[in-house]
Structure 1
Amino acid sequence: MPRASVIMSVYNNAEFILEAIHSILIQTYTDFEFIIIDDGSTDGSAYLISQITDPRVVKIYHSENKGLVASLNEGLSMATGEYIVRMDGDDFSVPDRLAVQISFMDQNPSIDVCGAAYTTTIGERAKVNPIGHDEIKTWLLFHCCICHPSVIMRNRMIHRLGIQYDINYPHAEDYELFNRLAFQVQVANLPICLLFYRQHDRKVSIQHRNIQADTARRVRQQQFYKLGLELSDEENQTMVELLEFRINPKDYASYSKASGFARWVLDQNSLYKIYNQELLNAAFSRCISNLPYQ
């Protein structure tokens, strides 16, 4: 039985797929199985995958596109490793990614989910997300602060909690999952760049931007329900402007509306005690002051 199961769902990634696969096969840590699911690709991706001969690779081919959620859940059900590692078919991992993440998980048995820093431009400064559990949990109210293809999870946690990706949250299934898990297990992010997160026109976040935005709104609303709040369209728009750092502190009306919204949420949190109050206040302050987490 391998220590890790790397799960990659592929749909029309022919331009990048071999580089993505190669980045896993050359890992310095070698005790893993690599589950590659071609989800009905029509661009030759399946053929390229079929040419891979490494015995650690498990190949699954769908005759038609079932969608990312179905493919990922299939991968979860097949995984035999102690750890489950996510990877996308258009990104690539640094050579010691598995070694670093598995070592961290071995040394921190209380952590069940761990992401990492990443870069979208080789040679430029990496994007470092919140590191500790309470801070991640707080920022997840605003946006997905765990990079999905950089994640490693404990397989026993997946089975113990019966975890699957939820098909009701298309194109933000990771955001929903991490919000759910943050209330059940300990999560972390490593401040070490382990992934190149490729940006291109066919990226889900670009192709399905409107659907993803609506789904993310629904994920956030589930968290606001925990605070006894249901946002109106106007309040949701204020929240979006906050999390996108679009508040103009020199515009009194904009600043006043955002500050009032933040005080409202903080007052509710002081009653329901869902988030660390100090961290939530700091998150709102950063958003209002246009100081993204980095």
Structure 2
Amino acid sequence: MNSSLQGKPIVSVIVPTFNRANLLPRAISSILQQTLSNFELIIVDDGSTDNTAEVVKEFTDPRIKFLPLGKNYGGSYARNQGIKAASTELIAFLDSDDEWLAEKLELQVKRLQESDDPLATVVYCLGYECVEGQRKIPSLHLHEGDVFDNLLRGWLPPTTSLFMVKRSALLEVNGFDESLPSFQDYDLWLSLAAANNHFLAVDQPLIIRYFHDQQIRGNLAAKSTGLEIFKNKWSLAIKQRVGYIEYWKLISLKMSIIQLIKVGKSVEEGKRLMAFRYTVGLLQHLPWSINMIIRGIVLSTLGNNGYRSVFMMKSKVMQLINGFDKFQY
């Protein structure tokens, strides 16, 4: 290993966690296997009631710091406590149910160090998404520099696990907004961009993001409340800078996702008629809800298992088509 990658910590890795003792070891192991070794790992336990503390104790690496909060405050508060406890200027985030590939820290530090943009404080990367063992790289256009208008139009790297940010920039915008029960990461990137912080990108997948039943994406109350706070905070900026059409497109897409979650929950509860009603309700968000309407119809008709089968089959077909296209001239 390059000796320049060893010694005093230059990156603080923050992992907030709540009742994920079964998933946390995978995240910790992926951090400890990084090719850049001079980091500190701050695990913020947001009031877990499982055996999270015992799981962390099984890792004896001296770079690990365990920060138990005593009760459940929420992801934003937990991440902010990690930022406050950090001893370095570079902060990297990893959700406790995700994992990093080995070069994640090294390549992001290198990208920041080699940049000639004096305003660059944020670096992100691509990532894999893993659903039921199937891994893919979702489409994400890479924007660099001043990305404020791109964010206002709805562009969004999908998870904090992709990011590394300078601590001074985070403190300047007061970190994550603790009033938001959802959309916290989107709000933070907007706040950073609005404060003239520039973004950089590493054009390769360096994380694996897993989808599972424990995730907050199923928390309808958090999604709905967060969207209302988000709208109140950013609607004026969106309308003024990128226009009313872009505003309604963004909000319609977010509301459609919440509506589709309602469809899924109704199906889980055996309320197929209610699921169809929620699907019909997606019509009010046209033309931007067409994809969600199709998903809602499949989900309402075939149920969760049929829905997963259809879209897994679609994913495999697309992979075959993409593989075939590589041989075309």
TM-score, structure 2 normalization: 0.66
Q: 1:11 aligns with which of 3, 6, 18?
A: 18
Q: Which runs of 5+ in 1 are unaligned?
A: 259-294
Indicate which of 91, 110, 119 corresponds to 2:128.
119
Whichever of the two has the greater Rg, that structure is 2
Q: Are 2:234 and 1:223 equivalent residues in the alignment?
A: yes
Could you tell me which amino acid in structure 2 is paired with residue 194 of structure 1? Answer: L
Residues 59 and 213 of structure 1, relative CA distance in 2, 3 Å threshold:
same
> Structure 2 stretches of 5 or more lacking a match?
1-7, 261-282, 291-329
Q: Which of 162, 166, 181 lines up with 1:150 in the alignment?
A: 162
TM-score of the aligned structures, taking structure 1 as reference length: 0.74
Moved segments of 4+, more than 4 Å: 235-239, 242-246, 253-256
Greater RCO (CA < 8 Å, at least 6 residues apart) = 1
1:75 to 1:223, Cα distance in 2 relative to 1, 3 A: same
Q: For residue 35 of structure 1, what is the aligned residue in structure 2? A: 42
Structure 1 pair 128/78, CA: closer, same or farther in 2 (3 Å)?
farther
Q: How far off its partner does 1:136 sit? A: 4.2
Instruction: Label 1:198 to 1:144 Cα distance change in 2 as closer, same or farther (>3 A).
Output: farther
1:101 matched to 2:108: yes
Larger helix percent: 2
CA distance in 1, matches of 2:177, 2:105: 26
Distance in structure 2 (CA, Å) of the matches to 1:239 and 1:74: 31
Structure 1 CA distance for aligned equivalents of residues 151 and 134 of structure 2: 28
In the alignment, the residues of structure 2 paired with residue 55 and residue 156 of structure 1 have an alpha-carbon distance, to the nearest angstrom, of 25
- The answer on whether the counterparts of 1:128 and 1:191 sit within 8 Å (CA) in structure 2 is no
Letter in 1 for 2:236: Y
RMSD: 3.2
Q: Quick one: which of 1, 21, 31 aligns to 2:28?
A: 21
- 8 Å contact from structure 1 (residues 113, 188) kept in 2: yes
Contact 1:129 1:189 in 2 (8 A): no
SS in 2 for 1:2: coil
Measure the CA separation in 1 of the matches of 2:11 and 2:207: 17
SS in 2 for 1:195: strand
Q: Deviations along 1:144-169, whole A, 9 cap, x unmatched?
A: 6122111100123234x253211111
Shift of 1:222: 3.2
- Which whole-Å CA distance do the structure 1 matches of 2:250 and 2:139 have between them? 22
Structure 2 CA distance for aligned equivalents of residues 21 and 172 of structure 1: 25
Paired residues in the alignment total 248
8 A Cα contact 1:130 1:189, kept in partner:
no
Q: Paired residue for 1:79?
A: 86
| Identical residues among aligned pairs (%) | 22
Q: CA deviation at 1:33?
A: 0.4
Q: CA–CA distance in 2 between the matches of 1:192 and 1:96?
A: 10
